[in-house]
Amino acid sequence: MRIFCFYHVKYVEKAAMPEGPYVIVSNHTSYLDIFFMYSILPNHPFVFLGKSEILTYPIIRTYFKNLNIPVFRNEIRKVGLSYVLASKAIKEGWSLVIYPEGTIPMTEIPKLISFKNGAFKIAKEANVPIVALTFTNNYSLFSDPTMFYGPARPGISKCYIHPYISKEEVAKLSFSELKQKSFELIEAPLRKEYPHLYSKDGND
């Protein structure tokens, strides 16, 4: 799919990967973030944990349903089941991809929005490393499928694979510290490439 649509992935940073399994966390601004994972990590077996709404999109629905674990966020019983299946997948040697923002932001893209807790809860309970990725321009190549007039064009996707957080550090850090460290890793390239989105924060 990537080659046919004339997409190329450029690694601005490509740190070493840990021994699997591990939890992969990334920002999420485009459905290219999903498709490109198989090119970025071709030798590392993984599944996605993601919102069930993705099952409503043609093509993506078939692709996601057969390979991944949907989260039905409005059904408490099924949310619990999703986490049970995710933990089982890790025990069986599968790594797990989670987009901790939980959705594609609708404003100030690609600025990060706050992270949800699931990815970090799973990593701590399973005692596995965390690998953080940043995509800085996928949103400008292909948008959310619900945006009828959104961009859809070939181009170069810029990707950062950050130094991983070891399982020893995952165990040592508090829950909030682990979430904050992951957030800062993913956010750093976005602050650098899109300073205008962060200038209003008063931190730049």
pLDDT of 12 above 90: yes
pLDDT of 194 above 70: yes
State the total domains in the chain.
1
Backbone angles phi, psi at 192, to 5 degrees: -70, -45
CB 105 within 8 A of CB 113: yes
Residue 190 lies in a domain: yes
Q: What confidence tier does 83 reach under pLDDT thresholds 50, 70, 90? A: confident
pLDDT of 199 above 90: no
Q: What is the pLDDT of residue 186?
A: 98
- The CATH number of the domain holding residue 182 is 3.40.1130.10
Of the chain, the end-to-end C-alpha distance in Å amounts to 39
Residue 51 lies in a domain: yes
Percent of the chain whose pLDDT exceeds 70? 76
Residue 68 lies in a domain: yes
The span from the CA of 157 to the CA of 72, in Å, is: 30
- Give the predicted TM-score (pTM) of the model: 0.85
Residue 204 lies in a domain: no
Geometric angle at alpha carbon 104, from 102 and 108, rounded to 5°: 125
Percent of the chain whose pLDDT exceeds 90? 50
pLDDT digits (tens, 9 = 90+) for 171-189: 999 989 999 999 999 999 9
pLDDT digits (tens, 9 = 90+) for 121-158: 999 999 999 999 999 999 988 876 555 556 667 789 99
Q: What is the pLDDT of residue 173?
A: 95
pLDDT digits (tens, 9 = 90+) for 47-70: 888 665 555 555 555 555 555 776
Which residue shows structure tokens 């499928």? 145
Residue 1 lies in a domain: no
Domain range for 110 = 7-198
Residue 27 lies in a domain: yes
Most confident of 78-82, 126-130, 196-200: 126-130
CB 187 within 8 A of CB 105: no
CA atoms within 13 A on the CB side of 34: 22
**Residue 113: Cβ-neighbour burial (10 angstroms; 0-12, 13-18, 19+):** middle
pLDDT digits (tens, 9 = 90+) for 86-119: 888 999 999 999 999 988 888 899 999 999 998 9
Residue 203 lies in a domain: no
**For strand 23-26 and strand 69-71, is the pairing parallel, antiparallel, or unpaired?**
unpaired
Average model confidence (pLDDT) for the chain?
84
